[in-house]
Amino acid sequence: MEKALYIHIPFCRRKCVYCAFHSVVYDERTAASYISALTDQIEKLNSPFATVYIGGGTPTALDMPLLEKLLAPIKRFLPAISEFTVEANPESLTDEKMALFLESGVNRLSIGVQSMREQKLKKLGRLHSARQAIDAVRRANKRGFKNINIDLIYGVWGEEVDSWKKEIREAVELPVTHISCYGLTYEKETPLWEAVRNSSVKPLEDDAAAAMYELAIDSLALRGFKQYEVSNFAKEGFGCRHNLTYWSNDPYVGLGASAVSYKDGSREENLSDIDEYIRRCGEGKTLIVSSEKLPPAKRAKETAAVKIRTKEGIDFEWFRQKTGFDFMELEKNALPELVENGLLKYRKEGNVPMGISLKRKGFLLCDSVSSSFL
């Protein structure tokens, strides 16, 4: 059974300069056709899901009638759903939409705060102000949401460590249970990438960005936000169950343009062109543009690459039962150097290795560690 359902809403009121996710500027007519296509797909689903995540793009960019239409067919899954997340932006998260979410069974909001500094928000191309961001979080809590995540970005050009430290201090004072901290990246084919190429933006030095990341780890821990994945911190019991599905390489269904599904060792990716997606849905044609049946060893290696991102790391017995492979044997070529370089540490009983996880340095270089396992 697929444990998780992801629904992609590829619309934003404005595209941020750093964003490489598949999204387009909101158009009401296109959005209406797209939501009709999505709801047709949702109504055909039979499997119950433990988690549902509606992301984007900006789901709250949708007008109320479209949100109502999207959420209606999901209600039949509610008895099985333990975590139902909707992503939101501060400027489009109205009281009316929050009331609809609660009525529809949504019990977790992920709010794209990104920063509580006006200049930083402007650099990133965000539509909301710092005041709107703080107000959105407080209104959501007052409305009845007890599980709220906020996203924060660090390492913006010109940013100083002391300023980031103050942002962390302000973030933990908000009524939130989960904080995601992402270092700014310069993805190809984004306006920010072009700005770096033409030298109008000079990225922050790696050492400064690393200092900000380590500051987040230490400061959030002191305030009860336990790091459980490279970029994610949560109060006890509030880790994102949906994302844990990905990090355990468990099966999931992805609906929407560019969404990915994974089940029985097969990965399928939907086409990204929204108009074509709508057309094919209406004609009953396949939406899949690429698929791959992973051989057992490759599937096991991918499990290692995603699971190592978690704070708990990889338990060797868990890995053997899940994949059928002995982790130490499977990754024998990569492990010695990663351990010797201080990126990984063993969990032992006596002298017997029982598992492995990232060290502090490993968290800083997690992408390299993950790639080494593939």
β-strand 314-315 against 252-255: which pairing, if any? unpaired
With 60 as the cut, is the pLDDT of residue 243 above it? yes
- Residues of the chain with pLDDT > 70, as a percent, come to 99
pLDDT digits (tens, 9 = 90+) for 30-74: 999 999 999 999 999 988 899 999 999 999 999 999 999 999 999
What integer pLDDT is reported at residue 21 of this predicted model?
81
The answer to whether the CB of 349 falls within 8 A of the CB of 339 is no
Output the pLDDT for position 204.
Answer: 95
Q: Give the domain ranges of the chain.
A: 4-246, 313-373
For domain 4-246, which CATH number applies: 3.30.70.1400, 3.80.30.20, 2.60.40.10, 3.40.50.300?
3.80.30.20
Q: Note the pTM of the prediction, 2 decimals.
A: 0.96
pLDDT at residue number 83: 98
Q: Distances in Å between the alpha carbon of 355 and those of 219, 241, 319, 324, 346? A: 27, 22, 9, 16, 6
Q: How confident is the model at residue 254 (pLDDT cuts 50, 70, 90)?
A: very high
Taking CA atoms, 162 is separated from 154, 202, 208, 226, in Å, by 12, 19, 11, 22
For 287, phi and psi rounded to 5 degrees?
-100, -5
Q: What is the average pLDDT score of the chain?
A: 96
